[in-house]
Structure 1
Amino acid sequence: MSAAITKQLEAVIGAVPGWTPETVDIRALDGGVTNSNWLATHEGKLHFLKIYGSGTESFINREVSIDAARQAQSMGIAPEVLYYDKNTGLEVVEFLTGYRASTNADFARRDFLEHVIDLYAAFHSGNPLSETKDVFEMTEEHIEQGREIGALFPADFNWLLKQYSKAKQAFFASGLDLVPCHNDPMPGNFMVQMDDDAITDMKLIDYEYASNNERAYELGVFLGEVFADEKTSLEMIERYYGEVRAETVARVTVARAIADMKWGSWAVQQRQLSDWDFDYQKYGIWKYGRARMLFNDPRWDDWLRAI
């Protein structure tokens, strides 16, 4: 560990009430993208410690994320936030002993899907958060920023935008169904506790991108992330809404296409900004390709009318 990192850790550990560098054992955890993550042991108890990445305050509203995390914890679906200091750039959260992060392969199982749908239903029932940022605002922010820095968009991007605009008009004509949303369905955010091969509990972590958003988007982006087929998607829609109606199927399906436009636009922007060893451009073009498949589906205009 470098001297600079050691000094930073000593400073943040000393900021936690009752902690000193001498009484806390700490080791790095893998998996952090925008922050550095650590396992801290104090008086025999494990804690998850997050040090905010430099510049992340420009795109993450920490007050909203902490509010969302605490609200989820009060529902029993998230770990407890034990300490938070925006100025220090530090967050200490209950370590979920006995849990593991879910993987892409897990979501081939129906029970994993059902647990996630139930987590969403619980979180969406909470009080509104202090920030509303819908998927359309997110998408257009990515596109505008990408254009400013010379991102490479697909050759038919104007046509993709035309279909996106039609979807936006349909949602706004019917009215957005705004609820507290997590907005980040990567598998590692679903921490699962298992007894042999059976799920005994699942919790939702990392509320950095939480906001009030369109309810159907949360389902659509998740079902797209886990590659749920049409039959499975209908089953999950029924589990969440209690029934399968043409309107809800249309909202979730169209939101799934919008999710791919959102993340495709984010990726081609990241290609210009990030030095990570990851082919963001390829990922973005693939996301646009998935959106294009739904835009070209013969049912596309029927879904828009059903919204």
Structure 2
Amino acid sequence: MAVPEVLDRIPLLSGMPRSVEELPGGLTNHNYKVTVPGGVYVVRVSASDGSLLAIDRDAEHANSVAAARAGVGAPVHDYLPDEGVLVVGFLPGRTFTEADLRNEANLPRVAEACRRLHAGPRFVGDFDMFEVQRRYLRIVRERGFRLPAGYLDFMPMVDTIRKCLAVRDEGTVPCNNDLLPGNILDAGDRLFLIDYEYAGNNDPCFELGNIWSESDLPPEHLEALVTAYHGRALRHKIARARLLGLMSKYGWTLWASIQDGANDAIDFDFWSWGMEKYERAVAEFTGSDLPRLMEEAVRAD
């Protein structure tokens, strides 16, 4: 459906003068900034149904509303489930870059935004990367999509890590689960977190580890982020975030494999994107730090 047709179906935006600007970013959707006399909005139009990637658009809508109530997400104005359209308020500011996350002065701000989200209303559904990774793996194998060389060799180690993390499991909180730099918006006085496609209740250490993983930050930045989040240095939390950051790399690798095999509507090299993550995961699986991290994750500080 053409963009003008989509906008005409949204009561808030139809029947009045409007300007439309496509926003960058978004690999599973298209985003448009729409300005009308009554205000400025962002219209997210799904580029696919997202079913293979475990994206639930109804849950995304509900979780976006919850994030707005927590004071960390954009206000939600409309949702057209049949068209895969979500309308949120436009938040003035600029999106983060990897350089922003490499600036350690920003890490306490990111930690504070995560705490606000995590203290907010519970989300619809849960997100567990161990389960998501297995679901993605089943899809990749059933459909004959490409699998990185040696990928299955690390599955026994993944089971060991999962058992290790179960020892000090402290429950879940509402998490975004996809905090790429582009999903962190700097409004000056505070940060907002946007895009709740993969949101669900999860271990807060996954949120922090995923931030670290997605921007390929050095380990000391993750230590600073986790310390800022908890208000003090906790070795078992830092180790937990490192291990879940590893699972982030390993799991999202298969997200890329599915996109590479099933999505020909978007001009993007998903395979290379995923292989970069996989190579970093392999380096951690085979590195000397892994036994120490698992030991620290189960030990009280």
Which position in structure 1 is the counterpart of 2:277?
287
Contact 1:251/1:303 (CA < 8 Å) preserved in 2?
Answer: yes
Contact 1:29/1:39 (CA < 8 Å) preserved in 2?
Answer: yes
Whether 2:189 is the aligned partner of 1:214: answer: no
Select 2:28's aligned residue among 26, 34, 43: 34
Which position in structure 2 is the counterpart of 1:134?
128
Normalised TM-score (structure 1)? 0.87
Which position in structure 1 is the counterpart of 2:216?
227
Whether 2:186 is the aligned partner of 1:192: answer: yes
Residue by residue, what CA displacement relative to the aligned partner does 1:22-52 show, whole Å, maximum 9, x if unpaired?
A: 4433343333432222222222521111223
1:57: how far off? 5.6
Q: Which moved more, 1:283-292 or 1:151-160?
A: 151-160
Residue by residue, what CA displacement relative to the aligned partner does 1:95-141 show, whole Å, maximum 9, x if unpaired?
A: 113x1111222222123322222111111112321201211111111
Residue by residue, what CA displacement relative to the aligned partner does 1:236-264 show, whole Å, maximum 9, x if unpaired?
A: 11111222223212211111111111111
- Structure 1 residue identity aligned to 2:134: E
Select 1:122's aligned residue among 116, 127, 130: 116
Q: 1:143 to 1:43 in 2, by over 3 A?
A: same
Which position in structure 2 is the counterpart of 1:196?
none
1:147: how far off? 1.1
Whether 2:79 is the aligned partner of 1:84: answer: yes
Whether 2:256 is the aligned partner of 1:267: answer: yes
Q: 1:88 to 1:155 in 2, by over 3 A?
A: closer
Whether 2:239 is the aligned partner of 1:236: answer: no
Q: 2: distance between equivalents of 1:186 and 1:285?
A: 17
Which position in structure 2 is the counterpart of 1:180?
174
Q: 2: distance between equivalents of 1:18 and 1:123?
A: 27
Structure 1 vs Structure 2 CA RMSD: 2.2
Tell me the secondary structure at the aligned position of residue 303 of structure 1: helix
Q: 2: distance between equivalents of 1:271 and 1:88?
A: 24
Aligned positions of 1:164-175 closer than 5 A: 164-175=158-169
Which position in structure 2 is the counterpart of 1:201?
190
Residue by residue, what CA displacement relative to the aligned partner does 1:192-222 show, whole Å, maximum 9, x if unpaired?
A: 13xxxxx432211111110111221111111
Which position in structure 2 is the counterpart of 1:63?
58
Which position in structure 2 is the counterpart of 1:254?
243
Q: 1:130 to 1:105 in 2, by over 3 A?
A: same
Contact 1:260/1:291 (CA < 8 Å) preserved in 2?
Answer: yes
Select 2:88's aligned residue among 89, 93, 96: 93
State, as a whole percentage, how many aligned pairs show the same letter.
Answer: 27
Contact 1:135/1:214 (CA < 8 Å) preserved in 2?
Answer: no
Whether 2:107 is the aligned partner of 1:113: answer: yes
Q: 2: distance between equivalents of 1:201 and 1:83?
A: 25
1:18: how far off? 5.1
Q: 1:166 to 1:13 in 2, by over 3 A?
A: same
Normalised TM-score (structure 2)? 0.88
Tell me the secondary structure at the aligned position of residue 190 of structure 2: strand
1:86: how far off? 1.5
Tell me the secondary structure at the aligned position of residue 221 of structure 2: helix
Tell me the secondary structure at the aligned position of residue 19 of structure 2: strand
Tell me the secondary structure at the aligned position of residue 31 of structure 2: strand
Count of aligned pairs: 295
Contact 1:186/1:225 (CA < 8 Å) preserved in 2?
Answer: yes
Q: 1:19 to 1:268 in 2, by over 3 A?
A: closer
Q: 1:175 to 1:107 in 2, by over 3 A?
A: closer
Contact 1:13/1:21 (CA < 8 Å) preserved in 2?
Answer: no
Q: 1: distance between equivalents of 2:35 and 2:50?
A: 26
Q: 1:243 to 1:158 in 2, by over 3 A?
A: same
Q: 1: distance between equivalents of 2:258 and 2:124?
A: 27
Q: 1: distance between equivalents of 2:254 and 2:83?
A: 32
Alignment gaps of 5+ in structure 1:
194-198
1:74: how far off? 2.0
Q: 2: distance between equivalents of 1:230 and 1:239?
A: 14
Which position in structure 2 is the counterpart of 1:74?
69
